[in-house]
Amino acid sequence: MSDLARNRKATFDYEILDTFEAGLVLTGHEVKAIRNGKLKLEGSHVVVRGGEVFLVGTNIAPYQPANAPKDYDPERTITLLLNHKEVAQLEAKSEQRGLTIAPIRCYNKAGKIKLEIAIVRGKKKQDKRETIKARDVKRDIERTLKNQ
């Protein structure tokens, strides 16, 4: 499974509570663009409406801008494919105060493009500082081990 896109900001800004794997409803030129690395997940989120799950705010740049369809919308709402049990669970969690659903990464699995989404809770400023400190300490340790 190779990562096609990753939402690094989400893993820094949010505490991940539970993850799900969802399929995406895409057109042919969108699939080519995503496989070419033209998907941006930063700033996007997942919404549950009427028993369906949608990815909102993501940007898929056209595969070939000169040959893109005239009505191509790079920021269109994308339908996600999940089973009924997962949709009900996401809907219940999204209504809770302080929880939201965010896309984490997009990857290729057996020729299909999948999206990993997660139920997340926002981190406080202090938690973000601790994450930065832990990352710096880990980097320093790896650097000293490499030099020895």
Residue 131, pLDDT > 90, answer no
% of the chain surpassing 90 pLDDT: 41
Q: What is the pLDDT of residues 78-90, one digit of tens each?
A: 999 999 999 999 9
Residue 2, pLDDT > 80, answer no
Residue 98's pLDDT is what? 86
Alpha-carbon distance of 54 to 50, in angstroms, equals 10
Residue 1's pLDDT is what? 65
Tokens 């700033």, residue? 43
Q: What is the pLDDT of residues 19-67, one digit of tens each?
A: 999 999 998 888 888 998 889 998 899 999 988 999 999 988 888 877 7
